[in-house]
Amino acid sequence: MNDMKKLMKQAQKMQAQMADMQARLEEETMTGTSGGGMVTAVVNGRHDLLSLKIKPDAVDPDDVEMLEDLVQTAINEANRKVSEHMQQEMSKVTGGMGIPGF
């Protein structure tokens, strides 16, 4: 019975560590770029777009689709970085175990 209590305490400690880490990671930012730096997107750990910078050279009124693609690519890259970073940091707490929801 003591082993079960010890295991539960360890699980609760890990859960608290993960919650703290997740809250910290949500405040971190990641940057994605496209077009050789023509478009830069910054997102936070909640995947909120915080800023979007577009260099004037990227704006061609005759090729709006290219600019749309550049914006989409930069945002997707930043979001991918956030997801990868969160997975790496969480695996440090969980010892590499995949825990659903984190």
Residue 5: pLDDT band with limits 50, 70, 90: confident
73, two tokens = 């690519």
Can you give the residue ranges of every domain in the chain?
29-94
Residue 43 dihedral angles phi and psi, to the nearest 5°? -125, 155
Asked if pLDDT for residue 95 goes beyond 80, the answer is no
Model pTM score = 0.77
Which tens digits make up the pLDDT trace of 9-61?
A: 888 888 888 888 888 888 999 999 999 999 999 999 999 999 999 999 999 99
Report the run of H or E that residue 85 belongs to, with start and end.
Answer: helix 64-94
Annotation: CATH topology of 29-94:
Ybab; Chain: A; (3.30.1310)
